[in-house]
Every structure is written in C-alpha cells, then in structure tokens.
Structure 1
Amino acid sequence: MSRVIGHHDVLVLGGGVAGCVLAARLSEDPARTVCLVEAGPDHGPDQDAWPRSLRDARALPRDHMWERGVAVHRLRARVVGGSSCVNGCWHTWGSDADHAEWTRAGGPRWSAAAMAPYRERAVAAMRLRPAPEREFSVWAHAALAGARELGYEDVDMGAPGAPGRGTPLLNARDGLRWNAAFGYLGPARSRPNLTVLGDTTANRLVLGGGKVLGAEVVVDGRRETLTADTYVLACGTFGSAGLLLRSGIGPADELREKGVRAEVDLPGVGANLSDQPGVFIPLAPTEDLNSALAAQEKEGELYVSRMLVRAASTHCPADGWDLHILPSAGDPLFGSLPPGEYEAGIAAFLMKPASRGRVRLRSADPAEPLDIDPAFLTDPGGHDVAVLREGLEIVERLAATSALAPLAGPVAGRPSRELTDAELRALLGTYWHPVGTCAMGPATDPMAVTDGEGRVHGVSGLRVADASVLPTVPAANTQLPVLAAAELLADALKEAAS
C-alpha cells in the first residue's frame, strides 16, 4: 500500500524542459498550489552548486541520464531542467509547413502567428542569443562561406522562414549553460505555493470512474501517493507515454498482454514516435585546421559547431525544409583523440521523417526499461532514405567548396553516394528530437491521445504538455518549440481554470 502525502491544485509529473515551464507559469497565481515532481536530482537555486558538467556549455554531459550503455536514441536526461542541462544549447524554429500540420491536429492556437508570443517568452526566459564572433572557429567561418557558395542565403534560425544558412540561438553565455531550471524555476522557487520534489519517480496514475485519483510515486524507496485537482504529464516523449501505459491508458490488448489492467483504450499511446536520424560524414583535418582549433581551445572558446544549413530536398513541400546540414569540428562526440587532434565532418539530418516508431512496455514493472523502437528509415515508400541521400549529396558538395576543401579532405573509403541502404542504416545517428507518442488530434481520430489543449481523451483532469503531444516533428531542434508549446499549454490550463 502507498501513503497519501499531499494534495495540490496542479501536480506536474516530470521536471524537464516542459515541466519547468509549467511549474513556473502555473504558480504565478498565488492562489494555485503547484507541485513539480522529477525522478532525477534537483540541484537547487544556487547555480554555483550545480555540477560543473551541467553548467559547462562546451560539454555534452552524460552523467545525469536514465540509462547508461544503451543505444544513443534512448538517451534522455534525468535531472530537474531535463534536456536543457545536457544538450548542445541550440535553439531553432520550424517552418510554416510545421504549423499547418499542428493546426490541423490541435486548432488555431498552434498556428505560426499564435505561437509567436510563446516563442518570444521562451527566448527571454532562456536568455537566448546568437553566438558571439569569438566563438566562431575557422571551420565555422569556412562553412558559412561554403554554404554561400552553394547559394544559401542568410536566414534567422529562430523564426519561420525559408531554407538558408545561419546561426542557432544559444542558451549559453560565457561558457555557462543557462538551463530551464535556472530560467524558469529560478524566479519561481521562492513562491510558497510551489513545491519541487526531486529524486521522486512517478510509477503510475491511479484511475477510477474515468478520472485520476492519485499519482503513485517512489521516494527513498517508499511508495507514496500524491493527489491533485489536475494532473499534467511532462515526462517527455518516452516517459509520458510509458507512464500512461503503466496506468492502463493505451492499446487495451497490448496492455493486457503485459499484465496491466486496461482502464482507457487509447491505441495511439506510444505510437507515432518520430525522431530525426542523420549520418555524419567524417573528413580528415589538415594540420592548419588542427592548429587553428588548438589555438581556439587554448583560449577557452572552442565549440564544435556554431552554424547550420536548412535545406529542402526535391521531396519537400512548399513553405518548408526537410534537412539540416551540420558542419562540425572539435572534440569528438564519442571517444577521444590525442591532444592537438580534432574531429571534423559534416552531418545530414532528416528533419521531416515519414517513418514512425513506437514506445511499448516490456512488462508491468515500472523498473523495467521501456521498449523504444525509433524505426528509422522504415517507411514503406522509401521517402526517408531518398531525402537522406539528397542530404548527403549536399554534404559532399559543401565539403568540396573552395572555403572548406583546404581545411579538411575526404577520408579513405567509399563515398556516401555509393553506400547501400543497409550500409546507410548502419551509419545512422540521431539528433535526439523525439516527439509524437501522445499526439494531439480530435476525439474522432482513433490514434489521437490528447486534444489541442493537452487534455487526454477519455480521462478527466489529466493533461499532457510536452514534446509527446506534437503530432509531427518540426523541421528544427525541438527545445525552443517545446518551450513554446509548454508556454501555450500552461496558458490553456489557466484559461480552463478561470
């Protein structure tokens, strides 16, 4: 049996990017009590007390993860602040075509114009800014020049627009990673109506009579129950789907097979998983490039990348783009090199995949890892392979420009255009931008899990407000869109309560 340990007006389960936004915005009303629950640690209000690895904007820390030694697509943060504590600090925005998809699913509040104020709120709270000149390496400058040679014009990466080259906005200043716990929770922590519970894992929701009666959590090895008037899931694309499934909300037949009592038959829970796969093409740095990178590292200003190209394949619809071309040079993402040597190359990422994966339960045991299948490049029509191959053609042309060719040359081996589909799949990495497992859509859509305000179909008092509600992945790095979506969904909840 678990013990009831507290009641709040709103219980937010998941203290990542979206959870921090929700807790901060919903607690602005002093009459509303809000509790934020996070499985990972809460390092508190003092930025200097946070682990150095999480504060260092030059690093991609791997010490606050749910799992270790797993396939890279499974990596997800376990700490208050979520992915904003461990990712590359990049913020880009999607296209008008993305908003058209979201508006069809969730209504007019998801249009580009309606979401613009939420984007601006997120930019302000996260202190987003373009990369300063001193952070551009010789490689980044050359990549910008090379993209210009290929005809890509300057674009604002933090707003809708057209294909082009540019610089993402950064939640980093003077090497400090300004995460969502700093930007959103920081100003809110002193509010007496806000409670933040770290190291508290949500196991399942307790349901009865078509509504949530409580949330079973584990803290210090004990099972406890938290209750609220409204429950909001912000556990991320993997975690929110997993929590619903463990609670009996999902495809009924599959739940029964796993020993879970089916409470609400929602076939879309865990389905529609969409992420952005890509392939990194390594290049061989010249001695001049290695020397220039070493000098910049000595100055403490070496960043692997500070620019990208958003490109449209021949399969891309109007008003959008479906590729990110990402040149990088610096310390390797995985492994290490001797001092004075660096990794250089260009990646092509598929931004609008047609393939769809799934999140399933392995068993009813909450401690059992989720079964996560991204299903990269599996769409029957071959769309994703075709678009990725066009991206690799752009990579090859960019590497051969007069700006980049003198800095790095091709490595030994077959060029990417000669790779078989199987060889291409073997090289796949991911951009770490999963969405869609609790996709919004009308109640008439059998695969929709939530509506345009995050309400879960068939369950009163329960909402989802994170990347999992997005029915399609935007043609962007997802942190800024998720911040804006959480701002939007917080407003929707306030409106419903007023």
Structure 2
Amino acid sequence: LMPYFRMIETDTDFSGDFHGSDGPIIVRRWKPEEWNPAQIAFYEAARANGFPDCPDHNAPGSTGVGPTPLNNPDRVRWSTAIGYLSGARERPNLEILPDCLVHRVLFDGHRAIGVRAEVNGEVTDYEAEEVVLSAGAIGSPHLLMLSGIGPSEALDAVNIPVHNELPGVGQNLRDHPHVRVTWRTRDDFDQPLGLPGVQFTLRYTAQGSHLPNDMLIHPSSRSVIGRRWWGQGASEEIGLLMVVCLDLAVGSGNLRLRTKDPHIQPFLNYNYFEEEFDLKRLREGVRIANRFGEHEDWTRLVTERMEPTDGDMGSDEALNAWIKETAVTSHHVSGTCKMGPESDPMAVVDQFGNVRGLENLKVVDASIMPDCIRANTNVTSMVIGERVAAFIGEGL
C-alpha cells in the first residue's frame, strides 16, 4: 500500500521514499516557533522519562515523542471533501445526492443491482452496475444487515430474511479507547482561544507487550470540561490534560441491529476491557502520564491533578474502576466487515473488497480493516479507497 500512501499526500516537511509530495491531502507539523508552553512541557517530560526524540512519526520504525503529523494546513482539516470532492463536483459522470439515506442494497439473486434510498423524504430505487458501500465501520455493516447479509441469528431477531449468511458482519468491532488525565492550571497561565490543541504525540510499546507502538499519549491545550467529555457533567474548570490511548487493543466488540428501520442506528457494544491485557496497558499509560505531570516544566503550569484522584491511583483495582468509568471512544471504529481469506469464516470481503458470496458488491472503508491500525483511521481509509478504485479500474 505504500505507493498509495505516497499518492494521496503532500508532506510539507519531509520527502523521500515514505512521503508523498504531489497528493491531494496536505500533511504538516507545527513548527518550533509555534509550539505552546504545555506542548513543550509535555515533550520535555517525555524526554526526561527516557523516551526518544521522534521528529517524524510517519517514518518506518519511528517511536518516541515528537511533532504530530496533521492534515490541517491553515488550521482547516484537509478532508476528502476538500482534497477530492471539490475538484470532482463538475464531472458529468458524478451526481451527488445530499440528505440521502440508503435503506438497503437491491439484488437479483446474488447479484447486486442497486440501492433503495430516501432523498428528501421520498424513497426511490436506484439501479447500478456495481454497488460500493463506503458508509464507514458503523454504516456499512448496518446496511449489509438491513439487506439481509450477516449473522442469521442477528437478522432473525429483527425479522429480516437472510439473503446471504456472513457471520462476520458487525463483529470484530475495533477501536482506540482512551482516558484523560487532567490538571487544574495556575491562575497566571494563559490559554487564549484558538490555541492549538495537539502539537506533540508520544508513541511507545507497553512494558511486556508483544505489539510494537501499541500505546499513545498526547497533551491537549484545551479547557478541561469534566470527566464526561462529550457534554455530560461539563466543568468550567480551566486546565490541561493528557490523552492516554490504547492503540492496539486485543479485545473487540460488535454491532447489532435494534430494528429493521434504517432510520434507527444500530447498537454498539465496544466491549472495552474484556481483556486484562488491555486494562494493564492503560493503567501503565495513566501512571506514565502522572509521572510526566510531576516534571518541573509541567508543574510550572498546573496546581494539582484533578483526575484520576489519588484514591483512584491508589491500587490497580481502583484505577481499573476509574478507567472503566471514564474511558471513551476515539471514533476510530473499524473491522466490522473485515477482509480475510476464504478460509476465515469471519471474513466479510476478499482482498479486492468484494463481499463474499455475492456479485457486484464491494465495501470500501475502515470496516474492512482486519484490526484497528495504530493511528487515526482517516488517512488509511483514503488509501483503501484509492487502492480499491484501482482494482475497479482493473475489473477486479
């Protein structure tokens, strides 16, 4: 896949065999003169704790602490809408339907012939020579099951006739669970609005782990808004935090239908921490972040650690309880229609993205990743799209 990674990016900082220079997605890193005090303090704390310097996290074999590669030139996320779709909108063979909800895939026997979709409240059948699902690791398995493709027991439970039994649909749900270690800042520490949230990242291998670079910690120069990060129990306390993320969990979850109504989102069982190995690594990560918080450069900025409390840190059992209570998704769900060989009964698609047992139907998004990658799924999903587009051009 390396040629496709190079194809899609323009890296403004590095060149060579592992970086692109003429692609639609802009990659850059904050420059030293732009680094803010909290980010510098994190870097110094990581280095003082023995982690190596890593100027390029996208280099092969890279590990340690260094500037975070970002696709946000001029502080604007360089999405596929900007990098790809903007330049393709006027193509005569492209029609974009906004406010469109696909209900299901249509079949003639085992051959996909189109989709049923709702546009502005009106349901219409659209015919196609080939159907490509790119609805994401939640939407694609949802659509397959609504179309009668998936585990028979899951389909029977909501009275959907089984069109093609594939037990792996909606299974193998992978993600990057993370927790936040938070500090209250000193009254004289200024955090102006618009301050970059993330400039540095630490990637490392957990103690005793057989999975390289399975952990990630990064600081965030944002206000602390409480343990229920997504709006519940919001706090007005101003602070700093470090995100501790499990980048290669060994546990997995699943997705199942609540109903056959396409308007109702499926139920997600992330099943975090069914494996003690996952809990152990996050515990270690929280304790590493706490050590960073004791570094003199960090203590100049903060007055006290807010979460986890000293009581939460007092034992493995207490820290486990805090992790289970506060862990949240990184929104990097993947693996729910995983790619695999025909010998794997849980594989949903083959190496070309074709759904097994059916014709003219592909899945092309993060759902086909066999496991969650050790990074944001954003760019790799684009690479999957480029690679399968080439397959389609070759008639595969």
Deviations 1:76-121 (A, max 9, x none): xxxxxxxxxxxxxxxxxxxxxxxxxxxxxxxxxx5xx455434547
**1:276, 1:349 within 8 Å by CA — same for their partners in 2?**
yes
Point out which structure has higher relative CO (alpha carbons under 8 A, 6+ apart).
1
Where does residue 286 of structure 2 map in the other structure?
A: 392
Higher alpha-carbon deviation: 127-136 or 206-215: 127-136
CA shift digits 1:263-298 (9 cap, x unpaired): 000000000001111111111212232x2x23xx3x
> In 2 relative to 1, CA 206–373 (structure 1 residues): closer, same or farther, beyond 3 Å?
same
Q: What residue number does 1:222 align with?
A: 122
Give the whole-Å Cα distance in 1 for the aligned partners of 2:344 and 2:10: 32
| Equivalent runs, 1:327-338 vs 2, <5 Å | 327-332=219-224, 334=229
Partner Cα distance (2:135, 2:346) in 1: 20
- Residues 328-363 of structure 1: CA distance to partner in whole angstroms, max 9, x if unpaired? 12234645666xx63212121111001111111111
Q: Which residue, out of 291, 300, 309, partners 1:406?
A: 300
Asked if residue 373 in structure 1 is aligned to residue 269 in structure 2, the reply is yes
Match of 2:16 in 1: none
Asked if 1:180 is matched to 2:80, the reply is yes
> Which piece of structure 1 moves more, 154-163 or 435-444?
154-163
d(CA) in 1 for partners of 2:143, 2:395: 24
Q: CA offset at residue 433 of structure 1?
A: 0.7
- Please give the secondary structure, in 2, of the residue aligned with 1:244: helix
Structural mapping, 1:61-140, within 5 Å: 110=1, 113=2, 116-118=5-7, 120=9, 124-133=23-32, 135-140=34-39
CA contact (8 A) 1:329 1:342 kept: no
Residue 413 of structure 1 deviates from its aligned partner by 4.2
Aligned AA (2:214): D
TM-score (norm 2): 0.89
Please name the residue that 2:15 is paired with. Answer: none
Worse-superposed segment, 486-495 or 465-474: 486-495
Tell me whether 1:364 sits opposite 2:260 in the alignment: yes
Distance in structure 1 (CA, Å) of the matches to 2:39 and 2:247: 21
Taking the aligned partners of 1:269 and 1:180, their CA distance within structure 2 comes to 26
Offset of residue 365 of structure 1: 1.3
SS at match of 1:395: helix
**SS in structure 1 at match of 2:130:** strand
Deviation at 1:315, TM superposition (A): 3.7
Work out the percentage of aligned pairs sharing the same amino acid: 31
Is the contact between residue 176 and residue 329 of structure 2 (CA under 8 Å) also seen in structure 1? yes
Matches within 5 A, 1:33-432: 110=1, 113=2, 116-118=5-7, 120=9, 124-133=23-32, 135-155=34-54, 156-289=56-189, 291=190, 293-294=191-192, 297=193, 300=194, 302-317=195-210, 320-332=212-224, 334=229, 342-379=238-275, 382-408=276-302, 409-411=304-306, 413-416=310-313, 418=315, 419-432=318-331
Measure, in 2, the Cα distance between the counterparts of 1:315 and 1:376.
20
- Give the drift of 1:420: 4.4
Equivalence for 2:14 = none
Q: Is the alpha carbon distance of 1:315 and 1:493 closer, same or farther for their aligned partners in structure 2, counting shifts above 3 Å?
A: farther
- The answer as to whether partners of 1:246 and 1:364 remain within 8 angstroms in 2 is yes
Q: Identify the residue that residue 490 of structure 1 maps to in structure 2.
A: 389
**Cα distance between partner residues in 1 of 2:313 and 2:393:** 51
TM-score, structure 1 as length reference: 0.71
Task: Kindly indicate whether the alpha-carbon contact (under 8 Å) linking 2:117 and 2:124 is maintained by their aligned counterparts in 1.
Answer: yes
- Partner of 1:416, secondary structure, is helix
Q: CA RMSD in A?
A: 2.1
Q: Matched residues in 2 for 1:417 and 1:127: separation?
A: 44
Which among 361, 369, 373 is matched to residue 462 of structure 1?
361
Distance in structure 1 (CA, Å) of the matches to 2:127 and 2:10: 30
2:348/2:356 contact within 8 Å kept: yes
Letter in 1 for 2:364: A
Q: Structure 2 CA distance, aligned partners of 1:422 and 1:328?
A: 24
Q: Which runs of 5+ in 1 are unaligned?
A: 1-109
Which stretch has the larger CA shift, 469-478 or 147-156?
147-156
The separation in 1 between residues aligned to 2:376 and 2:354, in whole angstroms, is 25
Structure 1 residues 12-69: Cα deviation after superposition (integer angstroms, max 9, x where no partner): xxxxxxxxxxxxxxxxxxxxxxxxxxxxxxxxxxxxxxxxxxxxxxxxxxxxxxxxxx
> Shift of the alpha carbon at 1:369?
2.0
Q: Secondary structure at the match of 1:196?
A: coil
